[in-house]
Amino acid sequence: MNAPYKHAGFEAHCEQGGVQAERAPDQLHVESLDVEILLLPGFSQLSLAALIEPLNLANALSGRKLFRWRLASIDGQSVTSAGGISVGVARRFEGLLEGQATRQPAFMICAGEEVERYSTHQLRAFLRRAARACVPLYAMGTAAWLLADAGLLGDRRCTIHWSKMAAFAESFYDLDVDDALFVSDRQIVTCAGDFAAFDLAIDLVQRQCDAELARSICQHLTADRWRDGASCQSAPPGLRHGASGRKLMQIIQQMERNVEDPLPLIEIARWAALSRRQVERLFERLLSTTPRQYYIKLRMRRARQLIELTDMPITDIAIACGFMSPSYFSKSFKDHFNVLPSQLRCC
């Protein structure tokens, strides 16, 4: 489970000396959660809708303004999503921390594939100022990259969309990165985005109101359940439920944590408190593959992400993915993707 955290509607802001004072219990259902949402070009419109629609329904079904939000952009102009749809905004992000007499709103960034382009001095300074003011910060999709580049994630657990996870971990190697839907650590929440934004929204509703309202929202949106934030975002479909699936997910997560130094199957089995044959049967029954083949697939997927999303030398990528011989890495990569690593980078 993720560590408990308080959202903007649940906490008083930092007083001098960095002490946070909790609001009285009878106030928890009175204050709304105000969120300023910065959209960056190429953001996922699915992430935005999956977040906003449940919050909008929470307001409608409860008859109260539990949540309020405004959209912003870098320049105050409309922003084009990854799908090519232009979204209008209410304001530019500069000055969002000014003019708030009583308490600051939470601040959220929705970013897409080319997030590195928007890590400007201006935005880094803004994020650091918000962190010093104890403003709750939410990073959706790939936006955790911006928080890391601003130096705000050094001692915190975090997550990012799985497509950026390999490059993120290599670029900020000292971070504690989880393969999770969303992670909350003090006033910072990082979320993988897309459908994980829905799970975060439902979690917000539960904390702001109650589980009954969360269930009503799911019913209205024809969603039969929502997922815990600690759920593995890259888990193969169908493994989230049932004891066997959960056990296999734990094994896969252990493999993912040990890509650079792959574990022998016997060690994985011992860690999982299973026999080697039991582990083999789990992979055969639930994924129609062998542990070795799946482990290689994980390492190849990590290697491809690093080739496409970083400037790391091919030799360094080979080592980072558990291959001590660059030539063997190149051969394995070509067998898997039908293209050499050097050719892929030239494309």
In angstroms, the CA 125 to CA 113 distance is 22
- Kindly state the percentage of the chain with pLDDT values over 90: 61
Number of CB atoms found within 10 A of residue 170's CB: 17
Q: Do 184 and 274 have their domain in common?
A: no
Q: Do 196 and 261 have their domain in common?
A: no
The verdict on residue 1 lying in a domain is no
The verdict on residue 100 lying in a domain is yes
| Domain harbouring 93, CATH code | 3.40.50.880
Q: Do 138 and 283 have their domain in common?
A: no
Q: Which residues span the domain enclosing 144?
A: 8-220
Average pLDDT of the residues in 200-205:
95
Could you tell me which residue, 140 or 180, shows the higher pLDDT? 140
Q: Do 182 and 241 have their domain in common?
A: no
The verdict on residue 268 lying in a domain is yes
280 has pLDDT over 80 = yes
Q: Do 187 and 267 have their domain in common?
A: no
Q: Do 83 and 195 have their domain in common?
A: yes
Q: Do 242 and 210 have their domain in common?
A: no
| Domain harbouring 334, CATH code | 1.10.10.60
104 has pLDDT over 90 = no
Q: Do 28 and 166 have their domain in common?
A: yes
pLDDT band at 239 (very low <50, low <70, confident <90, very high): low
The verdict on residue 205 lying in a domain is yes
Select from 220, 253, 272 the last residue of a domain: 220
Q: Do 60 and 119 have their domain in common?
A: yes
**Could you give the number of structural domains in the chain?**
2
The verdict on residue 113 lying in a domain is yes
pLDDT value at residue 148? 96
pLDDT value at residue 68? 94
pLDDT value at residue 272? 92
Select from 166, 187, 220 the last residue of a domain: 220
Give the CA radius of gyration of the chain.
22
Q: Do 273 and 126 have their domain in common?
A: no
Select from 220, 254, 279 the last residue of a domain: 220
In angstroms, the CA 126 to CA 292 distance is 46
Q: Do 60 and 192 have their domain in common?
A: yes
Region of poorest pLDDT, from 12-16, 49-53, 194-198, 294-298: 12-16
Structure-block tokens of residue 254: 């252990």
Average pLDDT of the residues in 100-122:
84
pLDDT value at residue 43? 97
What's the pTM value of the predicted model, to 2 decimals?
0.76
Highest-confidence segment of 45-54, 170-179, 230-239 = 45-54
Region of poorest pLDDT, from 28-32, 43-47, 151-155, 289-293: 28-32
The verdict on residue 3 lying in a domain is no
pLDDT value at residue 27? 38
- Kindly state the percentage of the chain with pLDDT values over 70: 85
The verdict on residue 141 lying in a domain is yes
The verdict on residue 229 lying in a domain is no
Q: Do 80 and 152 have their domain in common?
A: yes
Average pLDDT of the residues in 7-25:
36
- pLDDT digit string, tens, across residues 220-235: 999 877 888 877 776 6
pLDDT value at residue 109? 97
